[in-house]
Structure 1
Amino acid sequence: MSISTPPAEAAACCAPLTAQPLDADAAEAVVPLLKALADPVRLRIVSLVAAHEGGEACVCDLQEAFELSQPTISHHLKVLHTAGVLDREKRGTWAYYRVRAETLGSVAALLAAPAGVGTSERTPGCD
């Protein structure tokens, strides 16, 4: 796998971590995607966009949820778009963002545990 492979595509190409070890190139290719999602602000942005009416939002729809400037939110949106987590569509002066469900599905598949292994009734941190 090439290091120039887009992060979202890299995650889609990888077998689950529990099925076989990642080689160094595959791990390097997936890191930008996981880093993009690992930031608390960006994780909230993904959640807000996905939950927004119609499943899409622009920066103006997100700004009141954060005590951050519009340029900072735009930066986070750019990181998520570059990593393949969000699609972007320009409409006039605004850019609208939509979650790429296939990317989140690829991350879920990459991190999936084999059936019956490590399962519990509660998800840590979601009490």
Structure 2
Amino acid sequence: MPKALPVIDVSAPICCAPLAAGPMSTDTAVELALRLKALADPIRIQMMSLLMADPTHEMTATDLASAVSVSGGTATHHLNQLRSAGLVASQRRGVNNLYRAEPANLEALRGVLDTCC
């Protein structure tokens, strides 16, 4: 069985140099791996594309579930994974949680993967 990645708080903004800048510390590599792992699912990628189509737009888990053809519970699970990685944020309004992309964190993630320093 593969070794499980540790559970750490990855909700803080990404703040490390691009991969091409040189060796990365173990802690930074684990944080980056956990964020990338959160995106390593086709349903989550679809959800992110829906949320990022209009960064000011918020959607409920039910709306997202319907859009990607999964159950509400499955959508909530995926959204919790994305929220834990700091890639989406949620706000409670009445009986619903409204989800939105965190473009700054996604841009920082892109910056880490950029090949030029």
**C-alpha distance in 2, partners of 1:63/1:114?**
37
Q: Give the share of equivalent positions with the same residue, in percent.
A: 34
Q: How many residues align?
A: 112
**Structure 2: runs of 5 or more not aligned:** 1-5
**C-alpha distance in 1, partners of 2:69/2:54?**
19
- 1:30-72 per-residue CA deviation (whole Å, 9 max, x = no partner) reads 2111100111110110111122584211112112222311100
Which runs of structure 1 show a deviation greater than 6 angstroms over 4 or more consecutive aligned residues? none
Which structure carries more relative contact order (alpha carbon 8 Å, separation 6+)?
2
**C-alpha distance in 2, partners of 1:53/1:14?**
24
Does residue 6 of the first structure (1) align with residue 12 of the second (2)?
no
Structure 1 residue 6, shift from structure 2 partner: 3.1
Does residue 40 of the first structure (1) align with residue 39 of the second (2)?
no
**C-alpha distance in 1, partners of 2:87/2:51?**
11
Alpha carbons of structure 1 residues 79 and 20: separation in structure 2 relative to 1, 3 Å: same
Please give the TM-score of this superposition, normalised by the length of structure 2: 0.84
Please give the TM-score of this superposition, normalised by the length of structure 1: 0.78
Alpha carbons of structure 1 residues 15 and 8: separation in structure 2 relative to 1, 3 Å: farther
Question: Are the equivalent residues in 2 in contact too, given 1:56–1:96 (CA < 8 A)?
Answer: yes
